[in-house]
Structure 1
Amino acid sequence: MDFIMVCIQYIAIGLGLVAPVGPLNIELFHRGLHQGFKQAWLLGLGALSVQIFYIWVIYFGYSGWFLQLKVELVGYAFGAFVLFYFGFSHLLQAFSVDTPRRNSPILAGLAIAFFNPFLFANWYHHFGSTLNTLRVEFSPVMVWIILICMMIGAFLWYTNLAFVFHFLGTRVNFSLKKGLTLIVGLMLLWFCSVYIRRIAEITLHW
């Protein structure tokens, strides 16, 4: 297959892997809406660094450690705490007239992405399942170029979202921002409940 076409294909795959609606994209929406492009973009970069780490883990064969139930439980537990913190903070913000406090967007992106076992599972099932095929079809250098293309796709997605949400934030009024903040808080708390249900499924065999 032509080199350029391969690169475009895997850029699109990388973009598709981070596009589904989840806690990360929801929080990125909130940052862009209230704090502008830079804060949202840095949140995306924090999450991207975690996903680069995930690719490294999968490529070098350490996936089994992350797929252990004990490790999953720790991820869901800390993830539920992180999402509860952000979700509850956004609910308070929705009913307050104060300017939202800024915390480190990079650390927020790191925390939301790293303590999300669903995100690792997504990369493992879509990338890990094709890794052996890639190694057969392409040289090691080309495999790494493919990995870089996937990261470029993810980077483009987060950058595009940051621009779009920043632009949206400059066009909506204060009352609508409050309403959207309330929705964001409720959605993050819902994802928190998903993590808690997953913990119950693992520990209580529901």
Structure 2
Amino acid sequence: MVTLFLANVLLGLSIALPVGTVTVEMTKQGLKNGFMHGWIVGLGGMTVNLLLIILLYSGLATFLSTPIIQMVMWLVGALFLLYIGYDSIKNADHDISRPGEKVKKSFTSSYLSGLLVAISPSNLIFWLSIFGTVLTNSLETSSSFQFLIVGIGILSGILIHDLGLMTIVAGTRRIFNTLYIKRVSVAAGFVLIGFSIYFLYQFIENMKVYF
């Protein structure tokens, strides 16, 4: 069981390393408001991952994998990321707190940001394809308890990645001035809008199948 857990911790860590929408938002919030706010963005993203594990366990992966549902997810994800990216650029110089200053942004707001960027097609489809295969095979070839170990191991790997990333960001934040943090927020906004445009393109491509 220990070997199974550690193997899936490494799996969770390895898939969390590539830069995605949640990582971009975590880094932005970490630079603007410190370790806890960045990490809570990550917790918002992990909440979506946990819900997907529950859905996979409940046998709803097939429903979520249907073309029409995925098409809806592309559109919803595009709209969410477009809004968050625009807001990141528009308010790049807002809610920036320096080390030792009182943070104006609420933890709830940071958590919801993580939740929204995680509800993106790339994240959902990735989980349903890659993790869905791993978790489903685990459920079919072993007990429910082993499925639980696999799920916890994957989430633990993602958590280790998030804590490590935020530790680096929090340390870096001390040497960056407000102007640099503002520029990072603007850059993050454009990256998120870039993801949004890609998702919209995928939505249009999926629409062509039906029309």
TM-score interval (norm. to shorter): 0.7 to 0.9
Structure 1 position 105, deviation (Å): 1.2
C-alpha deviation, 1:132, in angstroms: 4.7
For structure 1, which runs of at least 5 residues remain unmatched after alignment?
none
> What residue in structure 2 maps to residue 102 of structure 1?
105
Equivalent residue number for residue 63 of structure 1? 61
User: Alignment partner of 1:20: what SS?
Assistant: coil
1:85 aligns with: 83
Work out which of the residue numbers 111, 125, 130 in structure 1 matches 2:116: 111
Q: Which residue of structure 1 lines up, in the alignment, with residue 70 of structure 2? A: 72
Secondary structure of the equivalent of 2:176?
coil
Q: Say if 2:198 is the partner of 1:200.
A: no
Question: Is the 1:40–1:162 Cα contact (8 Å) retained in structure 2?
Answer: yes
2:48 pairs with 1:43: no
Q: How many residues align?
A: 201
Question: Which of 17, 20, 44 is equivalent to 1:19?
Answer: 17
Q: CA deviation at 1:137?
A: 4.9
Q: Distance in 2 between matches of 1:135 and 1:67?
A: 18
CA RMSD after TM alignment: 2.1
- Report what 1:4 is aligned to: 2
Q: CA deviation at 1:136?
A: 5.5
Residues 84 and 189 in structure 2, CA contact (< 8 A), matched pair in contact too: yes
- Rounded Cα–Cα distance in structure 2 between residues aligned with 1:51 and 1:118: 12
- Residue type of the alignment partner of 2:199: Y
CA deviations 1:118-171 (Å, max 9, x no partner) are 212212222222335424654332221222111111121222222222222122
Structure 2: stretches of 5+ with no match in the other structure: 97-103
> What secondary structure is seen at the aligned counterpart in 1 of 2:91?
helix
The residue type equivalent to 1:145 in the other structure is I
TM-score, reference length from structure 2: 0.85
Q: 2 CA distance for matches of 1:150 and 1:75?
A: 23
Match of 1:169 in 2: 173
Q: Per the alignment, do residues 132 and 93 of structure 1 end up closer, same or farther by CA in structure 2, a change over 3 Å counting?
A: closer
Aligned partners of 1:119, 1:99: CA distance in 2, in Å?
27
CA contact (8 A) 1:18 1:157 kept: yes
**Share of identical aligned residues, percent?**
23
